[in-house]
Amino acid sequence: MIAHAIFFYIFSIIAVISAIMVTVSKNTVHSVFFLILDFISISCLFIMIGAEFLGMIMLIVYVGAVAVLFLFVVMMLNVAQQKNRWFISEDNSGHIPFGLIISTVIFFELIIVIGGWKYKPDLLNPSNLNVLNKISNTHSLGQVLYTEYIHIFQISGMILLISMIGAIVLTFRQREGVKKQSYLKQISRERSDGVTTVNVEIKKGVKIDD
């Protein structure tokens, strides 16, 4: 048990410190790296409570895909200067009230959740989730996800699909005057379409239409 506790504290300390560093560090790219460290230590905590499937999915989805996109955006858009401006100049502090409102809301939500956990544990009782020790938690998750919560699962999938289609529609545009390659055209080209033999008359030349 002692080893368990030691590892728990190591991971949670890393998680908390890196979460603080995400907001504190000056360089935006460093913030993203600290965010990744945070994700990794959180997934280690998931694995420690026995939810190994969730921990791995956390790594694959958040660290392997979402954070890479974050990193792309941060590297490409030069957010660093903007972040500095927000922090340093006084006239641009319109973000601070918003931040305060959001953080108070989150704070009260946390108080409600943790208070409920402490004083009314039966509110959070997962009555229809009987976790058996015989089957692995991937199996038990699948059994609940595809029977009890199938509609919610499907709806969340649809939401993701719609947002994906929306993103494609927003960014897709066809420009005029841009040569596009058509693989079908290229492959189905025969010698007779491309090569012609012309008898060139002297001092007249040929006119090639392109």
Partner 1 sequence: MDYLSTIFQEVYKILFLLIPVLVSVAMIVWLDRRVWAFVQKRQGPNVVGPFGLLQSLADALKYIFKEIIIPASSNKVIFILAPIITMTLALISWAVIPFGVDQVLANINVGILYIFAVSSLGVYGIIMGGWASNSKYPFLGAIRSAAQMVSYEVSIGIIIINVLLCVGSLNLNDIVIAQKNMWFIIPLFPMFVIFFISALAETNRPPFDLPEAEAELVAGYQTEYSGMMYAMFWLGEYANILLMCALGSILFLGGWLSPIDLYPFNILPGALWLVLKILLLFFLFALVKAIVPRYRYDQLMRLGWKIFLPFSLIYVVLTASYLFYFNLLPIN
Q: Does 48 bind partner 1 (CB under 8 A)?
A: no
Q: Which of 10, 13, 20, 72 binds partner 1 (CB under 8 A)?
A: 72
Residue closer to partner 1 (CB basis): 117 or 146:
146
Binding residues for partner 1 restricted to 75-94, rule: CB under 8 A: 75
- Dihedral sign (CA 28, 33, 36, 38): negative
Binding residues for partner 1 restricted to 179-198, rule: CB under 8 A: 181
Q: Which of 48, 56, 79, 141 binds partner 1 (CB under 8 A)?
A: 56
Q: Does 60 bind partner 1 (CB under 8 A)?
A: yes
| Cβ burial, residue 183 (10 Å; 0-12/13-18/19+) | exposed
Calpha distance 24→121 (Å, rounded): 36
Six-digit token pair at 35? 């965010």
Q: Smallest distance, Å, CB 95 to partner 1? A: 26
Calpha distance 68→33 (Å, rounded): 10
Residue closer to partner 1 (CB basis): 19 or 51:
51
Compose the 106-145 pattern: x for residues touching partner 1 by CB under 8 A, - for all others: -----------------------------xxxx-------
Would you mind telling me the total number of residues written for the chain in this entry?
210
Calpha distance 121→111 (Å, rounded): 14
Q: Which residues contact 126 (CB under 8 A, 6 or more apart)?
A: none
Residue closer to partner 1 (CB basis): 93 or 136:
136
Calpha distance 12→18 (Å, rounded): 10
Residue closer to partner 1 (CB basis): 168 or 200:
168
- Taking the alpha carbons at both ends of the chain, their separation in whole angstroms is 79
Binding residues for partner 1 restricted to 25-44, rule: CB under 8 A: 27, 29, 33, 36
Q: Does 53 bind partner 1 (CB under 8 A)?
A: yes
Per DSSP, 65 falls in state: I
Binding site for partner 1 (CB under 8 A): 3, 27, 29, 33, 36, 52-53, 56-57, 59-60, 63-65, 68, 71-72, 75, 135-138, 181
